């Protein structure tokens, strides 16, 4: 087998080049090639400096994740990197694309780093439930200081070449199109000087001088880190860089790395990494399906949803025409969009120039004819089949042939909506989640007649606007809401049987959700859809509305809220629920948190199994992608289907039976065969 590493001589400089598509992951052959390349340089007196660079779209994007969990093959990355750093001939990393994880660690082991302006550099291991495992937690703080290293190691977001230069991680920014030549010139300029090894740096002493920075960092990032093991280990490793010798620090890093690698969180997060990429592929739609150019988008409805949807495209530089029935609603909608952008600018995440740029792409109209030349129109009107059909019939009439017509319905039958048009092949569901400009998930609902190019275009577009897409077949509620309704039904039953509603919320919170169903009701507003007739009370929610309890917006819903929006369970609500239970003749009993958890989550898994059996989802991991990105299912459990596999499907079936709940045929079959979800 030919090595992915080759070397080229440029006078007295040896250039070691990796060509391991798609992302130059540091698999065994790459590691071995790097070690051999360094040996070649050291063994040849006529070579006086070394440059390491990559072919293709990026510098090394990290260790090869597909090797994780398999028997280690030498040389390990730390071994290869120690050899590299030990060289007394200067070694320069020449970075383009994304130097991530092990790739960043290669750069740290080099004596110098140069990068093109568009390069990004970072240690995203925490996002895989890990910490850097090739001395990154020890070399980085010694090079840039503990304070600068903390976010890189414990949050894991990559930084630009410019920022990296500002903190001392990059020595020089070179020409976008002259990386190799500039790196060679840089390497040559270092010949004859003592090399600079980051393992010998002292910048980490900032953490010794001010040990508070670690607690401060934990306090600032507490919410982001909640429930995750890796960020805490990352902070501990960076702290150790100030407390221990380099050799002992590396040992400590290895210990923490191995603990995480063997734990369930990292397995779940690695599952998710591949799940997100798999969800992007539609099994029976060829990868080379020609795409429909999307140069202009129409949005019907300028309410919260329509406005949020429009922002996705505006932010991606795609012009949008937004339509409403009344001028007032249109004006309100566009001013909310502007305000949202201005708030983003106030927080420093956008410049005012960018705000004006995005707003400049927005046109508003009351006239359907203005949508004629759109390539895609997304309808976000009231959830009512007749209304949707009227909108689609109108769109079919005015919008040019070959344009895609999408519904943002969260529940209704997309095939029925398509019958209102003469172009069912161009109709599909694009289900955004509220707030649509923030939430990552896009459920792409494939109708019976939706064309391949319409699907492929929607997938590509999702990526362009920064969404994570998953395909669903047509069924009530699609993947996400169909499973949610199972959880909600159990939540409602549980409180009728005597469970405290705050225990129901707390169980989900403890599991890792950002909030439970009753907190969610309070946040969204309990009065949504309320008929406003206090004399007609048939549900707990209606009773709460009749009692003037509308949710967080008026300081009381299921909970009472203080100024800081802290919740306290309410005796009044407890009584309302007890009255309802008595009226329905429900016996009350104490219900344990274990029972609550099982009854909330196992029926969701069961529904997921049905969704798979009916082929409404392509694969179990797509369901995980939906729940993690759309409903706050904790990433570190891998999503409902992966989690069920770790619990054991036989345990899920037994749990359902214990609570008198039906287990689907498909779930039983998998459990009986001793399988998990693939
Ligand atoms: C690490 O380094 C640990 C060390 O500290 C310790 C060592 C001891 N391995 O995302 P894309 C595949 S942990 C294997 O669609 P993009 C990916 O699955 C690692 N495969 O492209 C996909 O395959 P397919 C730390 C990988 O342009 C294809 O490449 N590094 C790896 O949107 C294209 O990927 C990271 O966590 C990998 N490391 O984004 C970085 N990376 O075509 C992870 C990608 O079959 N990677 N693949 O579906 C990324 O963030 C993005 O892939 C990247 C490109 C930004 C590089």
Report pLDDT digits (tens) over 520-577.
999 989 988 788 888 888 889 999 999 999 999 999 999 999 999 999 999 999 999 9
Q: Whose CA is nearest to atom 48 of ligand 1?
A: 277
Phi-psi group of 629: left, alpha or beta (phi > 0 → left; psi -120 to 50 → alpha; rest → beta): alpha
What mean pLDDT do residues 645-671 have?
97
Residue 1 has pLDDT above 80, yes or no: no
Q: Does domain 5-262 bear CATH number 3.30.1360.80?
A: no
Please tell me what DSSP assigns to residue 70.
S
> DSSP states of 386-418 as a string?
HHHHHHHHHHHHHSPTT-EEEE--SSS-HHHHH
Centre of ligand 1 to C-alpha 120, Å, is 14
For residue 131, the ligand 1 atom closest to its alpha carbon is 5
Query: From ligand 1's centre to the CA of 98, what distance in Å?
Result: 10
Residue 65: pLDDT band (50, 70, 90) is very high
Query: What residues are labeled active site?
Result: 105, 125
State whether ipTM is beyond 0.85.
Answer: yes
CB 59 within 8 A of CB 98: yes
DSSP state letters, 516-582: -HHHHHHHH-TTTT----TT---SHHHHHHHTT--BGGGTBSSEEE-TT--EEE-HHHHHHHHHHHH
Q: Which helix H or strand E contains 120, and what residues bound it? A: strand 120-122
Q: What are the residues facing 63 on neighbouring strands?
A: 26
The stretch 617-645 carries a mean pLDDT of 98
> Residue 233: which of 133, 164, 134, 157 has the closest Cα?
133
Provide the edge-to-edge strand list for the sheet that holds 49-54.
5-10, 13-18, 49-54, 91-95, 112-115, 172-173
Q: In whole angstroms, what is the distance from residue 187 CA to residue 181 CA?
A: 10
3-state helix, strand, coil in the chain (%, to 5): 50, 10, 35
Ligand 1 centroid to Cα of residue 266, in Å, is 15
For the chain, residues classed under CATH 3.90.226.10 are: 5-262
Residue 258, pLDDT > 90, answer: yes
For residue 61, the CA-to-ligand 1 centroid distance in Å is 6
Structure tokens at 659: 């609570």
CA distances from 198 to 142, 188, 241, 250 (A): 6, 20, 12, 13
Token representation of residue 474? 């047509």
Rg of the chain taking only CA atoms, in angstroms: 28
Which atom of ligand 1 has the smallest separation from the CA of 124? 36
pLDDT in tens, 375-417: 999 999 989 999 999 999 999 999 999 999 999 999 999 999 9
Pocket test for ligand 1, best of 29, 54, 64, 65 (most atoms within 8 A of CB): 65
- pLDDT > 70: what percent of the chain? 100
Indicate which atom in ligand 1 lies nearest the CA of residue 281.
Answer: 48
Among the atoms of ligand 1, which is closest to the Cα of residue 58? Answer: 56
Reply yes or no on whether the pLDDT at 602 is more than 90.
yes
Residues pairing with 363 in the sheet: 321
Nearest CA to ligand 1 atom 10: 277
What region, left, alpha or beta, does residue 56 occupy, with left being phi > 0 and alpha being psi -120 to 50 degrees?
A: left
Which residue is closest in CA terms to ligand 1's atom 19?
Answer: 62
> What's the topology of domain 297-477?
Rossmann fold (3.40.50)
Q: How far apart are CA 74 and CA 97, in angstroms?
A: 27
Nearest CA to ligand 1 atom 46: 61
- Residue with the smallest CA separation from ligand 1 atom 16 is 23
Mutate to test the pocket of ligand 1, among 23, 139, 469 (most ligand atoms within 8 A of CB): 23
d(CA 88, ligand 1 centre) in Å: 32
User: Which atom of ligand 1 lies nearest, measured to the CA of 62?
Assistant: 2
Q: Which CATH architecture describes the domain 500-583?
A: Orthogonal Bundle (1.10)
Beta-strand relationship, 112-115 and 91-95 = parallel
Sign of CA dihedral 202, 204, 205, 208: negative
User: What pLDDT sits at residue 532?
Assistant: 86
**Cβ < 6 A, ligand 1 pocket:** 22-23, 25, 58, 61-66, 77, 98, 100-102, 105, 124-125, 128, 132-134, 136, 277
Q: Could you tell me how far CA 108 lies from the centroid of its own chain?
A: 27
For residue 25, the CA-to-ligand 1 centroid distance in Å is 7
CA of 34 to the centre of ligand 1 (A): 19
- For 427, the 3-state DSSP assignment is strand
Q: Which residues does residue 407 pair with via DSSP β-bridges, in sequence order?
A: 379, 429
Contacts of 131 (CB under 8 A, 6+ apart): 125, 137, 153, 230, 233, 234, 237, 253, 256, 257, 260
Tokens coding 191: 């010949």
Name the residue with the closest Cα to ligand 1, atom 28. Answer: 22
pLDDT reported for residue 528: 83
Helix-then-strand count for the chain, H and E: 29, 19
Inter-residue contact 203 to 143 (CB < 8 Å): yes
Q: Report the atom number in ligand 1 closest to the C-alpha of 61.
A: 56
498-535 confidence digits (pLDDT tens): 999 999 999 999 999 999 999 999 998 998 878 888 88
Q: Whose CA is nearest to atom 43 of ligand 1?
A: 61
Kindly give the distance from the C-alpha atom of residue 277 to the centroid of ligand 1, in angstroms, as a whole number.
10
Q: Encoding tokens for residue 34?
A: 């790097």
Which of 31, 61, 70, 260 has most ligand 1 atoms within 8 Å of CB, for mutation?
61
Q: Dihedral through CA 523, CA 528, CA 531, CA 537, nearest 10?
A: -40
Q: How confident is the model at residue 127 (pLDDT cuts 50, 70, 90)?
A: very high
Q: Which two tokens stand for residue 440?
A: 């990552």
Residue intervals of the chain classified under CATH 3.40.50.720 are 297-477
Higher pLDDT: 678 or 396? It is 396
**Alpha-carbon gap, residue 432 to 430, rounded angstroms:** 6
* CATH 1.10.1040.50 in the chain, residue ranges: 500-583
């Amino acid at each position: 087998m030919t090595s992915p590493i080759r070397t080229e001589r440029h006078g007295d400089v040896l250039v070691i080049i990796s060509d391991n598509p798609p992302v130059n992951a540091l698999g065994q052959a790459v590691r071995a090639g790097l070690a051999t390349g360094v040996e070649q340089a050291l063994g040849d007196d006529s070579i006086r400096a070394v440059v390491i660079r990559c072919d293709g779209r990026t510098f090394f994007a990290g260790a090869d994740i597909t090797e994780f969990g398999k028997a280690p093959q030498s040389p390990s990355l730390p071994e290869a990197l120690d050899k590299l750093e030990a060289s007394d001939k200067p070694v320069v990393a020449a970075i383009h694309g994304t130097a991530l994880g092990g790739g960043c660690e290669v750069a740290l082991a080099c004596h110098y780093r140069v990068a093109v302006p568009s390069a990004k550099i970072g240690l995203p291991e925490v996002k895989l439930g890990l910490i850097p495992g090739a001395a990154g937690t020890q070399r980085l703080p010694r090079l840039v200081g503990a304070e600068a290293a903390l976010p890189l190691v414990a949050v894991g977001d990559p930084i630009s070449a410019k920022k990296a230069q500002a903190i001392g991680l990059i020595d020089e920014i070179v020409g976008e199109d002259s990386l190799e030549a500039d790196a060679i010139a840089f390497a040559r300029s270092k010949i004859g000087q003592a090399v600079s090894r980051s393992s010998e740096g002292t910048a980490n002493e900032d953490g010794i001088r001010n040990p508070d920075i670690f607690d401060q960092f934990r306090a600032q990032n507490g919410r982001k880190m909640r429930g995750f093991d890796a960020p805490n280990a990352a902070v501990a490793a960076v702290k150790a860089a100030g407390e221990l010798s380099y050799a002992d620090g590396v040992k400590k890093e290895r210990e923490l790395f191995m603990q995480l690698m063997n734990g369930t969180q990292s397995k779940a997060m690695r599952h998710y990494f591949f799940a997100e990429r798999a969800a992007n592929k539609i099994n029976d739609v060829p990868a080379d399906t020609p795409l429909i150019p999307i140069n202009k988008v129409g949005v019907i409805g300028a309410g919260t949803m329509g406005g949020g949807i429009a922002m996705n495209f505006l932010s991606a530089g795609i012009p949008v025409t937004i339509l409403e029935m009344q001028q007032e609603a249109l004006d309100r909608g566009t001013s909310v969009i502007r305000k949202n952008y201005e708030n983003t600018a106030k927080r420093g995440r956008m410049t005012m120039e960018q705000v004006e740029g995005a707003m400049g792409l927005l046109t508003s109209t009351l006239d359907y004819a203005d949508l004629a030349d759109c390539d895609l129109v997304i309808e976000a009107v009231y959830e009512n089949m007749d209304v949707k059909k009227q909108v689609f019939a109108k769109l079919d009439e005015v919008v040019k042939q070959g344009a895609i017509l999408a519904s943002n319905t969260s529940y209704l039958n997309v095939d029925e909506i398509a019958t209102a048009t003469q172009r069912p092949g161009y109709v599909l569901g694009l289900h955004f989640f509220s707030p649509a400009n923030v939430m990552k998930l896009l459920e792409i609902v494939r109708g019976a007649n939706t064309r391949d190019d319409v699907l492929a275009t929607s997938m590509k577009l999702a990526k362009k606007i920064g969404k994570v897409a998953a395909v669903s077949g047509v069924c009530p509620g699609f993947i996400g809401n169909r499973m949610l309704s199972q959880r909600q039904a159990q939540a409602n039953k549980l409180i009728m049987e005597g469970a405290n509603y705050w225990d129901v919320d707390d169980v989900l919170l403890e599991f890792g959700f950002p909030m439970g169903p009753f907190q969610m009701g309070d946040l969204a507003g309990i009065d949504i859809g309320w008929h406003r007739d206090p004399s007609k009370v048939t549900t707990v929610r209606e009773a709460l509305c009749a009692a003037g309890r509308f949710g967080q917006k008026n300081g009381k819903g299921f909970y009472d809220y203080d100024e800081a929006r802290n919740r306290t369970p309410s005796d009044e609500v407890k009584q309302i629920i007890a009255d309802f239970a008595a009226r329905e003749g429900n016996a009350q009993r104490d219900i344990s948190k274990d029972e609550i958890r099982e009854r909330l989550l196992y029926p969701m898994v069961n529904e997921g199994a049905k969704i798979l059996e009916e082929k409404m989802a392509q694969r179990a991991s797509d369901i995980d992608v939906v729940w993690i990105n759309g409903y706050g299912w904790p990433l570190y459990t891998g999503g409902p289907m992966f989690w069920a596999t770790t619990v054991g499907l036989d345990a899920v079936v037994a749990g359902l039976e214990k609570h008198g709940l039906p287990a689907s045929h498909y779930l039983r079959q998998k459990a009986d065969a001793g399988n998990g979800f693939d």
